Structure 1
Amino acid sequence: MTVIYGHRGAKGEVPENTLASFQQCLKHGVRRCELDLHLSRDGELMVIHDPTLKRTTGRRGKVVEHDAAELVGYDARKGGPEAVSPCPIPRLEELFQHCDFEHWQLEVKSASKVRAARMVEAIAELAERYKLTEKITVTSSSREVLGALQRLTPHLQRGLVAEYAWLDPLKVAKHYGCHLLALNWTLCTPERLLKAQKAGLHVSVWTVNEPALMRRLADFGVDSIITDFPGVAVQTLG
């Protein structure tokens, strides 16, 4: 049975990585989500994909140059699907308070050694506070981040995000003791999938938006798909 994760909430339906987007995902009955994290200047975990503010808010500068209290005042609906009301950048804590997901994939983008350490420790602390440690997998394509997870927060589940095949994703995932492999769908061959599952990895494939592709990957036997359209995925996969 292939399970469904909402990509940045319901990115195809509501502006990505906003509370409204995650609530939309839950409205479809999809209780698993994927999101992206960056640190604010004052060390809070903010839910936004890019390191800069331009694409989603139209503002200048980097996330890390602003305090959390400023960031939550920025409207993040630029360039996304139409939204009537403002959609602020949320703190991760706000989502933990308002969204009852049964599993979260928290993606940490590449980071310096110092920032990677700060981020994984902040995630561990927040997860513990909200009793969500068992419901979280922290994912990254960054070796710094995966190394920090292994070293500093070994109790958190880890996942490798693999976009390109130039490094053997299975080898890298094994090296960092990963539990999950988030695989770009173009890399998901039946052979690689089988090998990964035999190695005990949950294989989550992204970003899958076409019903025909959803069906094909489900037939392959992927453990989960990550989609911008959780409503379409529910209709397609039942």
Structure 2
Amino acid sequence: MSSVRVWLGLRTLGAMRAPHSTAISAHRRDHHGAFDTAVGSGAEYVEIDVRRTGDGELVAHHDREVGGLPLARCTYERVRAAVDRPVPLLGDALDAIAGRALGHLDLKERGAEHETVELAMERLGEGRFVVTTRYSESIRLIKRDFPGVRTALSVGRGVWERGAVRDLSPLALVRACGADMVALNHRLARLGVLRQCARAGFPAMVWTVNAEPLMRRFLGDPRVAVLVTDHPGRALALRDEGR
């Protein structure tokens, strides 16, 4: 799928928006662990972080740990007992947004590619979600076996992480893995990587943008297809002001 078709597809999925507006992806759930606040914000996308528990369940959870315990070594029942907020199963999280928002599925680890995509196609419908991940191998698997699924390679590791310097020039890796888009950390976007991606024809998702001046900047940038934020309501209000 060409980057132009992907861009047009994103625009079609957000048909209620103005022709050149940037879509919003709600990054956080409410303090009860539910997705109602994110969906109710009016954001086009709701982000669901995907991890696997020690007994093989796919769950919606951002961090590697839950209640101080490694999630990958805990049974789902132990995960539920470790915290005072729900850690929903992926299927339940998808059901919570189905028909109400598009899915932004962020794979936090390798090994869940096929299950995640198959479940998303079943619960949300084909073309109703995008998959993001920092793992190029995961993108390759998805594009090989589900070529019609939109994907974005996440770029923007912490400066202390091995390989972070390569994130300043990510296009070779993006092309090699077959990603349709690039999901950029907002700091990298401001260092010229957004310009690189736009020149190469790759639409960008920019994360995680919470400061109002940065929201205004990226919402007004036609190179940004999706803005990811913890404050979707404020981003939507700023987008409406910009119109």
Match of 2:28 in 1: 8
Match of 1:81 in 2: none
The amino acid across from 1:104 in the alignment is G
Distance (whole Å) between structure 1 residues aligned to residue 138 and residue 31 of structure 2: 27
Distance (whole Å) between structure 2 residues aligned to residue 41 and residue 191 of structure 1: 40
Match of 1:79 in 2: none
Matched, 1:88 2:101: no
Which 5+ residue runs of structure 2 have no aligned equivalent? 1-20, 158-163
Checking the alignment, whether the CA contact within 8 Å between 2:43 and 2:101 is kept in structure 1 is: no
Matched, 1:182 2:183: yes
Q: CA deviation at 1:92?
A: 1.2
Matched, 1:51 2:50: no
Checking the alignment, whether the CA contact within 8 Å between 1:25 and 1:31 is kept in structure 2 is: no
Checking the alignment, whether the CA contact within 8 Å between 1:72 and 1:89 is kept in structure 2 is: yes
Checking the alignment, whether the CA contact within 8 Å between 2:188 and 2:194 is kept in structure 1 is: no
Q: Are residues 8 and 35 of structure 1, via their aligned partners in 2, closer, same or farther at CA, if it must alter by over 3 Å?
A: farther
Question: Which deviations, in whole Å up to 9, do the C-alpha atoms of 1:16-45 show, x marking residues without a partner?
Answer: 9x32xx211122211312221111223221
Distance (whole Å) between structure 2 residues aligned to residue 104 and residue 199 of structure 1: 26
The amino acid across from 2:132 in the alignment is T
Distance (whole Å) between structure 2 residues aligned to residue 155 and residue 74 of structure 1: 38
Runs of 4+, deviation exceeding 6 Å: none
Match of 2:132 in 1: 139
Checking the alignment, whether the CA contact within 8 Å between 2:48 and 2:106 is kept in structure 1 is: yes
Identity value in percent = 26
The amino acid across from 2:208 in the alignment is T
Q: CA deviation at 1:192?
A: 3.9
The amino acid across from 1:121 in the alignment is H
Which 5+ residue runs of structure 1 have no aligned equivalent? 76-85
Q: CA deviation at 1:198?
A: 4.7
The amino acid across from 2:128 in the alignment is K
Checking the alignment, whether the CA contact within 8 Å between 1:4 and 1:30 is kept in structure 2 is: yes
Distance (whole Å) between structure 2 residues aligned to residue 67 and residue 110 of structure 1: 17
Match of 2:37 in 1: 24
Match of 2:10 in 1: none
Name the TM-score, length of structure 1 as normaliser: 0.78
Q: Are residues 198 and 30 of structure 1, via their aligned partners in 2, closer, same or farther at CA, if it must alter by over 3 Å?
A: same
Moved more, 193-202 or 35-44: 193-202
Matched, 1:36 2:29: no
Match of 1:64 in 2: 72
SS at match of 1:134: coil
Match of 1:106 in 2: 105
Checking the alignment, whether the CA contact within 8 Å between 1:74 and 1:89 is kept in structure 2 is: no
Match of 1:82 in 2: none
Q: CA deviation at 1:184?
A: 0.6
Distance (whole Å) between structure 2 residues aligned to residue 42 and residue 155 of structure 1: 30
Q: CA deviation at 1:135?
A: 1.4
Checking the alignment, whether the CA contact within 8 Å between 1:74 and 1:88 is kept in structure 2 is: no
Q: How many residues align?
A: 210
Mapping for residues 166-205 of structure 1, pairs under 5 Å: 166-167=165-166, 168-189=169-190, 192-205=193-206
Quote the RMSD (CA, aligned, Å): 2.4
